[in-house]
Structure 1
Amino acid sequence: MSISNSKETTQRMAALHQKFAKIYGHQPEGIWRAPGRVNLIGEHTDYNMGFVLPFAIDKNALVAVRRKTQLDADRQTLDFASTYGSGEHPPITSITFDELVPRAVPGWAAYPAAVLWALNQLEGVELGGIQLLVDSDVPVGSGLSSSHALEVATIVALDDLYELGLSKVQMAQLTQRAENEFVGAPTGIMDQSASLMSHAQHALFLDCRSMETQAVPLPLAQHDAVVLVMDTRVEHSHVDGGYAARRASCEQAAAALEVQSLREVTVVAELEAIEDPVAKRRAMHIVTENRRVLDTVFALREGDLDAVGKLLYQSHESMRDDYEISSEELDVAVEAAMAAGAIGARMTGGGFGGSAIALIKREHIDKVSQAVREAFDQAGYVEPAIFTVIADEGAGKA
Structure 2
Amino acid sequence: MAFIGKAPGRVNLIGEHIDYNGGMVLPAALSIGLKVKLTPRRDDTMTIAANDYPEIATRQMDECVSGHWSDTALGALRQARALGMIAGGADLAVRSTIPQGSGLSSSAALIVAVLKAARAAGNTALTDTALAVEARAVENGFMGVPCGIMDQMAVALAEPGTAMALNTATLSYALLGLPRTHAVMVVHSGLTRKLTDGRYGARKAECDRAKAYFGTDDLCRLTPGEIAASALEEPARKRALHCASEHRRVLDAVAALKADDMATLGRAMNESHVSMRDHFEMSLPAIDALVTDALTLGADGARLTGGGFGGCIVAIIDHQRQSRWLAELLSRHPAARFIGAA
Scaled by the length of structure 2, the TM-score of the pair is 0.95
Partner of 1:298: 255
Partner of 1:192: 152
SS at match of 2:11: strand
2:56 maps to a residue whose letter is I
> Unaligned 5+ residue runs, structure 1?
1-27, 70-74, 378-382, 391-398
Q: 1:166 aligns with which of 112, 119, 126?
A: 126
Pairwise CA distance, 1:120: 3.6
Mapping of residues 10-49 of structure 1, within 5 Å: 29-49=2-22
Q: Distance in 1 between matches of 2:224 and 2:126?
A: 38
Q: Distance in 2 between matches of 1:98 and 1:269?
A: 48
Higher Rg of the two aligned structures: 1
SS at match of 2:112: helix
Q: Distance in 1 between matches of 2:263 and 2:220?
A: 27
Q: 1:128 aligns with which of 83, 88, 96?
A: 88
2:340 maps to a residue whose letter is T
Partner of 1:13: none
Partner of 1:97: 61
> Following TM superposition, where does structure 1 have runs of at least 4 consecutive aligned residues deviating by more than 4 angstroms?
none
Counting aligned pairs with the same residue, the percent is: 34
Q: 1:64 aligns with which of 29, 32, 37?
A: 37
Q: 2:114 aligns with which of 143, 146, 154?
A: 154
| 1:235 has 2:195 as partner | no
Partner of 2:244: 287
Whether contact under 8 Å (1:332, 1:372) holds in the other structure is: no
Change (3 A) 1:324 1:354: same
| 1:178 has 2:142 as partner | no
| 1:119 has 2:80 as partner | yes
Partner of 1:353: 310
Count of aligned pairs between the two proteins:
342
Partner of 1:7: none
1:29 maps to a residue whose letter is A
Pairwise CA distance, 1:126: 5.2
Q: 1:367 aligns with which of 298, 320, 324?
A: 324
SS at match of 2:62: helix
Whether contact under 8 Å (1:79, 1:94) holds in the other structure is: yes
Q: Distance in 2 between matches of 1:30 and 1:270?
A: 50
| 1:277 has 2:234 as partner | yes
Pairwise CA distance, 1:129: 2.1
SS at match of 1:111: helix
Q: Distance in 2 between matches of 1:360 and 1:388?
A: 13
Q: Distance in 2 between matches of 1:270 and 1:348?
A: 24
Whether contact under 8 Å (1:68, 1:129) holds in the other structure is: yes
| 1:78 has 2:46 as partner | yes
Q: Distance in 1 between matches of 2:327 and 2:289?
A: 13
Q: Distance in 2 between matches of 1:271 and 1:127?
A: 53
* 1:194-223 per-position Cα deviation (integer Å, ceiling 9, x unaligned): 0011134321011111111111222x22x2
Change (3 A) 1:270 1:83: closer
> Unaligned 5+ residue runs, structure 2?
none
Change (3 A) 1:199 1:83: closer
* 1:95-142 per-position Cα deviation (integer Å, ceiling 9, x unaligned): 22222x2x23x42211111112223444x5652221101010001111
Partner of 1:207: 167
What value does the CA root-mean-square deviation take over the aligned residues? 1.7
SS at match of 1:46: coil
SS at match of 1:142: coil
Pairwise CA distance, 1:316: 0.5
Q: Distance in 2 between matches of 1:200 and 1:58?
A: 5
1:80 maps to a residue whose letter is I
Scaled by the length of structure 1, the TM-score of the pair is 0.82
Whether contact under 8 Å (2:86, 2:121) holds in the other structure is: no
